Every structure is written in structure tokens, then in C-alpha cells.
Amino acid sequence: MIIKGVKARKILNSRGQETIEIIVDSDILQGIGSAPSGASKSSKEVKDFPKGADGAVEFVNNTLSKDLANFSFEKFEDFKKIEKIISKYDKSKDLSVIGGNLIVALEFAILNCFKQPWKFLNPEAKQLPRPLGNVIGGGAHVKEGIDYQEFLLLSLNAPSIKKAIEANFDIHKSARRKFGLFFNKKTDEGAWAPSDLNESEILDILSEQTRKISKEKNFDVKIGIDVAANTLFNGNYKYKHKELTREEHIEYIIDLAERYNIIYLEDPVEENDAKGFKEITNRLKHRCLVCGDDFISTNVSLLKKYKDCLNAVIVKPNQIGSLIKTKEIIDFALKNKITPVISHRSGETMDSTIVHLAAGFNVPIIKCGISGKEREIKLATLERIENEIKVK
């Protein structure tokens, strides 16, 4: 594939924030890629837009487009050459000159020049990720909401991706019908956003709903939690109606996980508490995926350092600003029996490239929401790839 032209423009993400969309014209197809942005960010991730979306657009259109004219892109490893070109302008570790969102949007656009990006990445791909969907939320994703950022649904033994998506959607819909106090208020990611329920009350609701749907569908729908503990931490863990010490918070989290048979637990302690992660993982690892997001920030060096502290890791390409490094952390996780979970962000676009990455790189779980056009297009892409794999 030969790159014939590269152009960037500003668009708005689902939170109404400016981001970048890049269009790559090639000798085979036109590829379009765009970058998301998180409301809840780790201090460890690369910078997204050091010079704003305007600065990123200007750099692509006036400088980078010339460097990439007639570039021959034949295999995934050619992204190393792309990133080497970009490194001429930004040698910082945190991409504080160029920003990770520019690089990710460009690399997504290049991948999307291929008709079936997942197949370009891995012609023999057979495994598709199970959808991890956000049904009830709060934290940094909504003003004046509940303490925890996300209450999630996951079906690992559903007979198809389509059935798993349907189960998540049915529970999302029934949660609103059954509990009218949610009204129409939603989080950034399309989850219902109550303001006056505590964790146990929400988990009671979801336990009832998952039991009902599991019986109807004849497969297990399990509950997950993204605590996003950074948003609670101020030396202690400050909830709306209580304040817990580190030790009290850990015991409370473990009690919830055991009491409600939680299958997935993300960022249960703040991002610098490796010992806390390790304690929770050691106590829950046989029943639960203890997943690091802010803790690891898609950085393979951090995962290598803390691999004994968790058994799952969030993968967000724009946290690290490189598809080469994204694949590196996925490969390391799989090799070391750590479950990689590729993830959307709260400020999303209509780009579905993370679905192709998940399929091409054998990622077992994808976190991409349940409701909202930016989430639903990813789920539709997941279903389409399932059909393509079946008929290839």
C-alpha cells in the first residue's frame, strides 16, 4: 500500500471536546482514523494534545504529510518506520511535543486503508473479544453522581458475540425500567447515572437483573466494577457518605467482590499503590480479574515491573501513543497469563479501530460500552467481524 496523501481536521468527540481526525489516501483505499480522550486520566500516560487539536492539525497538514508522501506500508512492523519519522520532531518519553492522539489517529487511518484491518493484522484470527459493557456509572464520568466510575457486565460463555451484546443491552434497558430514579441521566459512556444509591444497592439491582437474564439466555452474565480509585483518593478514600483508610478501603472492596461474585475489578486502589494491587490480586485472583488501568497506563515497562500485582491490564492505544507499543504490551500480557482488555475512552469518536486490534491481536475482552452511537458502532463492528470470521 502506497500513501498518496495525509490530511487532518478537527472533530468533536462524544464529550464535545476537540480532537483530531486524519484521512489517509492510498493506492488501494482511503482510511480514516480519529483519537478519543479520557475524562479520568493517569499521570503516567503520554500527553494527548500538547499544543491543542489546532496544533496537531497544523503539524499534520504542513509538516508530517510531506514526510509520509509515497511512503510504502506493507506490514504492521512498518509502523516502526512511521514512528521513527515522527520521533524526529518529538524525542520525549511522554510525547509532550507531538502528543499521543495525533500518532494514534494517524496509525488508525493507515490501518483503515485496508478493507479488513483485523485480517491485515492476522489472517488466521479466530478469537474475538467478549464485550465488557458499562451499565451504571458515576465517578469522573458524571457530575454529582455515585462514587464508583462503572458497574459493568461481562458474559464469557455466551455462544456468540451477538448473544453477549444482546444480554448487556437487555440489562441496560431493564435497569432503567425497573428503577425509575435513573430518569434519562447518563454518564459520558452511556451508562445510567443515579445520584443517590450506594455500591451495595447498585450491586443488589444488578445481581437480580443478571440472574434473570442468565436464566433466560442460558449463559452466565457476570458483574464487574471499575472503582477508578484515583478519583476517591486524598490520602484516605473519600466516598460521598464515608471516608475509609487505605486498609478499610481494601477490605471493603474485597468484601464487595466476594459478596456479589464480581468477575472483574478495575483500579481498586490508587495508581501508585502497587502493594494494594498485589494484596487484592492475591486474595481474589481465583475468582476475579484484577485489572490495572491508571496503574499501568498501557506501558509495557510498568507491566513488566508489576506483573505479579495484577492478572489483567487495560490497553488504551492513546495512553501510550504507539500501535507498536500497544501490540508489545498485549503480547507480553498474553505470554504471562495476564488478561489484556482493550478499551474505549469516555470521550469517544465513531472510530472502531480498537475492535480490529482486538480481533487481530487475540485480545479476549473489549471494553466499549453498551449505549450511545460511539459505543454501538464498535459493537456493530464486532458483530460484523464475527460474521466475516465465520465465512472466511
- The 3-state DSSP class for residue 118 equals helix
What is the widest separation between alpha-carbon atoms in the chain? 60
The CA distance from 310 to 381, in Å, is 30
Select from 199, 209, 211 the least CA-distant residue to 256: 199
The residues, ordered by sequence, that sit 6+ positions from 318 with a Cβ below 8 Å of its Cβ are 35, 36, 37, 45, 46, 48, 100, 101, 104, 345
Last residue of a domain, one of 59, 80, 115: 115
Mark whether 82 and 166 lie in a shared domain.
no
pLDDT attached to residue 239: 95
- The answer to whether 361 and 124 have CB atoms below 8 angstroms apart is no
Q: Please compute Rg for the chain using Cα positions.
A: 20
The CA distance from 269 to 284, in Å, is 14
Mark whether 238 and 357 lie in a shared domain.
yes
Last residue of a domain, one of 61, 88, 115: 115
pLDDT attached to residue 391: 62
Quick count: other Cβ atoms within 10 Å of Cβ 137?
A: 29
- The answer to whether 45 and 298 have CB atoms below 8 angstroms apart is yes
The pTM for the full model equals: 0.96
Mark whether 153 and 102 lie in a shared domain.
no
Mark whether 228 and 366 lie in a shared domain.
yes
Q: Taking the alpha carbons of 21, 330, 250, 253 in that order, is the dihedral positive or negative?
A: positive
Supply the DSSP symbol for 186: B
Mark whether 76 and 52 lie in a shared domain.
yes
Would you list the DSSP string of 2-45? BEEEEEEEEEE-TTS-EEEEEEEEESS-EEEEE--B-SS--TTS
pLDDT attached to residue 160: 95
The residues, ordered by sequence, that sit 6+ positions from 361 with a Cβ below 8 Å of its Cβ are 121, 122, 327, 330, 331, 340
Catalytic residues: 189, 316
Q: CATH number of the domain that 180 lies in?
A: 3.20.20.120
Expressed as residue numbers, the domain containing 360 is 130-391
Q: CATH number of the domain that 22 lies in?
A: 3.30.390.10
The CA distance from 376 to 387, in Å, is 17
User: What DSSP element (H or E) covers 142?
Assistant: none
The ranges of the chain with pLDDT < 70 are: 178-184, 391-392
Quick count: other Cβ atoms within 10 Å of Cβ 25?
A: 16
Residue 123 lies in a domain: no
pLDDT attached to residue 181: 52
Mark whether 176 and 224 lie in a shared domain.
yes
pLDDT attached to residue 227: 97
Structural domains in the chain (count): 2
pLDDT attached to residue 184: 66
Residue 227 lies in a domain: yes
pLDDT attached to residue 60: 98
The CA distance from 233 to 204, in Å, is 25
Mark whether 48 and 167 lie in a shared domain.
no
Mark whether 168 and 103 lie in a shared domain.
no
- The answer to whether 292 and 72 have CB atoms below 8 angstroms apart is no
Side-chain-side CA neighbours of 121 within 13 Å: the count stands at 25
Mark whether 295 and 149 lie in a shared domain.
yes
Mark whether 111 and 206 lie in a shared domain.
no
Mark whether 111 and 162 lie in a shared domain.
no
